[in-house]
Amino acid sequence: MDAIGRAVRILAESGDPEAVLVAEALDRWRRSRTITFEEALGYAPGIRGATMQRTRDSALSELTRLFPGLSGRALERRVREVVEEYEATRWAADDAARHRPDGSDGLYFDLLSSGGLPCAGHLRTLLAAVAD
């Protein structure tokens, strides 16, 4: 927590209005035992998770359109295959560069940025839900 205290001081002393807001939020979060950092920033609790879930579901919905003849286990396997191939070959560079690529790689990037692929059964459920 000492490092956070130092960061609060540095940000607060920077004179940058946005940095000062972050410093105040960090300080509120650091001193509280009950609020999340999102709440300290003035956001609704759980907004980050909800945003990630919307991003994931949107990407999955788009992916179902890339494989129109597939459903159920076959669709789940194909989605997992293409996302894992992207993760193994191009994800690290795109993530490090904070670069969302165009096309289907952008959908894979969105999935991995929003927490990755869930287990097979849950992925099949999600794919069926977004395909409707």
| Residue range 13-63, pLDDT digits in tens | 998 989 999 999 999 999 998 888 888 888 877 888 888 889 998 999 999
* pTM metric for this prediction: 0.70
Mean pLDDT of the chain: 90
Instruction: Spell out the SS3 assignment of 36-73.
Output: CHHHHCCCCCCHHHHHHHHHHHHHHHHHHHHCCCCCHH
pLDDT, position 132: 65
pLDDT, position 92: 95
Q: Tokens in use for 2?
A: 């000492």
| Mean pLDDT, residues 59-87 | 93
Angle CA(93)–CA(46)–CA(33) in degrees, nearest 5? Answer: 105
pLDDT, position 74: 93
- Confidence at 1, pLDDT banded by 50, 70, 90: low
